[in-house]
Amino acid sequence: MSADIQTAQQGFSLIEVSIVTAIVLLMAIIGVPAIGGYVVENKVPKVGEELARFILQTKVNAPGGTAAPYSGIDTSNFANMVRGSSVFSLTGTESAARVLHGLGTDGEVAVAEAASGAAFSITLSKVHHAACPSIASVMQRVADIITVAAEGQAATTVKDANTSYSALATESRCGKGDINTFVFTAS
Handedness of CA 144, 140, 127, 69 (dihedral sign): positive
> What is the per-residue pLDDT for 1?
47
> What is the per-residue pLDDT for 65?
81
Fold of 14-186: TcpA-like pilin (3.30.1690)
CB under 8 Å to 37, separation ≥6 — which residues?
A: 128, 129, 130
Write down the domain spans for the chain: 14-186
**If pLDDT is split at 50, 70 and 90, which confidence band does 180 have?**
very high
> What is the per-residue pLDDT for 60?
93
What digits encode the pLDDT tens for the residues 103-142? 988 999 999 999 999 999 999 999 999 898 999 999 999 9
Checking if the pLDDT of 171 tops 80, the result is yes
Pick 150 or 64 by higher pLDDT.
150
What is the overall mean pLDDT for the chain? 89
Closest CA to 99 of 118, 74, 119, 117: 74
| CA distance linking residue 171 with residue 136, whole number of Å | 9
Checking if the pLDDT of 78 tops 90, the result is yes
Residue 72 backbone class (left: φ over 0; alpha: ψ -120 to 50; beta: rest)? left
